[in-house]
Chain A
Amino acid sequence: MTEPTTVVSVSGVTKTFPRGNVTALQDINLDLGAGEFISLIGPSGCGKSTLLRVIGDLVEPTSGAVTINGKSAPQARTDRDYGIVFQDAVLFDWRTVAKNIELPLEMLGWDKAKRRARVEEMLSLVELTGFGDHHPWQLSGGMQQRVSIARALAFEPALLLMDEPFGALDEMTRERLNLELLSIWQQLRSTVVFVTHSISEAVFLSTRVVVMSPRPGRIAGIVDIDLPGPRSVETREDPRFFELVTEVRELLRLRGEHLLPEEEAAAAREDA
């Protein structure tokens, strides 16, 4: 096997928000090979969303640099090298569901017929066939999130940045869309950065799981997921799957993830 080419390279990235003087990210170094599926996992506020935004050039790092396909992050954004799914659906009220999914295709200058055809494909992929004419506010929260996933996948970007895309979904839909996402990933040979709060989801989907720790946001450790073969429903019953879940959980725990801020404060007081 040849060495996979680096798609995303994050080197020495620190991000401090002037407001409140929060260090959201400190000295993050991370390389993503082509076709990798990386999950970011960590407690709330550890900077997962911020890291995703820095990669997408939606937030400028205070120091350090990001390159995508050898280009600077702003250049990659201008070239529309990635698609992004935000933590909230962020749909346009005044557009129908179909028109929302079409948005990136309009930006790419696709003609109407081609856009329509793709939208139908995407709607059936996220099981919303027949809802194209609805407005977002007529859908449930989970359905809205599926529309936003369809919108990000519509133009088949080689790099997908996904911020807790399945967070608002029920367990059944979530597992089905996990499989769906894996098959899309394999078909398109895309590279995925996936933020999640679910350890089992991270292990099930990823080639590597990046565990982050808060205040300041750092990489606590990286777990290589060496599960055999293409993932399927059986993967979740594989003993190796459980070992890896435990490994990720231990890493999170080591970094005090089980402690709520109040407990942490209490512990500090006891120490004193």
Chain B
Amino acid sequence: MSSSAANAASVQRSTAARVTWRSRLHGATHRAGLIALTVVALLALYEGYNQLWRATGWTWPFPADDTTLPHLWTIFKAFADPAQVNQPSLFSVLIHKALFTAKEAFAGFVLGAVFGFALGAALAHSKLLQRGFLPYIVGSQTIPILAIAPMVVIWVNPKLPSGMQGWGAVAVISAYLTFFPVAVNSLRGLNSADPRMLELMRSYAASTWTVLWKVRFPASLPYVFSALKVAATASVVGAIIGELPSGLQSGLGGAILNFNQYYSIEPQELWATNIIASLLGIVFFLAVLGAEKAVVRRAPERRA
């Protein structure tokens, strides 16, 4: 009986493996195709609007000319042209700046995520803390980041080692935007554990830490990951904004500030910078998505 059960199980398992492998490959090409199609459609929409509004002279909702909507090819050509005389192409300059901003954003993301989760975990264990602190945590996000960024720079920079001067403070500003969604969702996720599982752990006389590690934490992961996806893009935005008052020229924020001043002459350079900035956000998002796929193992319909 048990050997035939084992046989049935192994047959079932190998067919299951084959099916998931094939459907995964199929799903991946399917998804890639869909993404490519969306990108092409968006580009076509942009250029279509551009051409039609220029041809007819329509001005509603906004007019199309070389300043408001540079042609696609003008933007792509700007990537290839040198940013300044005798310098590398704008594309390679922007990539370098993007890497710098990515460093700040990544540090801010990690800092914010760790702090946010720790905060969520502390609040999840005490109703009193929750009632006392939650309003202030929510309140912290109503202060415009641009208003506190200069103060953060002044406070943080003197405390940093020389290797982290400048970008370290920007990472802290980025973390300020990151920790909030993570804290709120961690709190929710840690409290989402099935009460029957907590009862089972109680029957094993499990300690608070064991319950946190073996039940509450795994149960919170779908919630935490949806927060991390929001936080991933927020950390990039936070890093870019943080560069503005810091006067840092090495990142995308500095480039945006710079190209803003020349917008009426060369709008395509700001557009090109924006494309790189949003690509950076997408890369961060996809990295979290990949981590989620690798880590969260549960019923497909229960993914939050």
Contact = CB atoms under 8 A, between A and B. Distances in A.
Interface stretch (A127-135, A210-218, A230-238, A253-261): A127-135
A129 B196 contact: no
A84 B205 CA distance: 12
A130 B210 contact: no
B280 to A, nearest CB: 31
A167 interface: no
A265 interface: no
Given A124-B2, A127-B1, A129-B9, A93 B299 contact: yes
Interface string B1-12: 110011111100
A176 B43 CA distance: 66
A106 B5 CA distance: 27
Contacts of B197: 90, 92
Interface in A105-151: 106-107, 124, 127-131, 133-135, 137-138
B82 interface: no
Contacts of B10: 130
A80 to B, nearest CB: 6
Interface residues of A, number: 31
Interface in A53-110: 53, 56, 58, 77-80, 82-84, 86, 88, 90, 92-94, 103-104, 106-107
Nearest to B7: A130
A124 to B, nearest CB: 5
B205 A135 contact: no
12 contacts: A77-B205, A84-B203, A90-B194, A90-B199, A90-B200, A92-B214, A103-B204, A129-B2, A129-B6, A130-B8, A137-B298, A138-B16
B292 to A, nearest CB: 13
Residue of A94, A107, A137 ringed by the most chain B CB atoms within 10 A: A94
A56 B218 CA distance: 26
B205 A94 contact: no
Interface in B13-40: 13, 16
A224 B106 CA distance: 70
Given A78-B205, A80-B205, A130-B10, A86 B5 contact: no
B134 interface: no
Contacts of B194: 90
Given A90-B197, A92-B215, A135 B203 contact: no
B5 A127 contact: yes
Contacts of A137: 298-299, 302
Report whether over half of chain B's contact residues are helix, strand or loop; otherwise say mixed: helix
B202 interface: yes
A94 B213 CA distance: 13
Nearest to A106: B214
B203 A56 contact: yes
Contact of A135 (B7, B8, B206, B297): B297
B184 interface: no
Contacts of B199: 53, 58, 86, 90
Contacts of B302: 93, 137
Contacts of A88: 196
B221 interface: yes
Given A77-B205, A107-B206, A133 B13 contact: yes
A229 B9 CA distance: 37
Contact of B218 (A53, A77, A94): A94
Given A58-B202, A84-B203, A90-B200, 6 more contacts: A78-B205, A88-B196, A93-B299, A107-B205, A130-B6, A130-B10
A166 B130 CA distance: 42
Contacts of A77: 202-203, 205
B247 to A, nearest CB: 47
A141 to B, nearest CB: 13
A138 B10 CA distance: 14
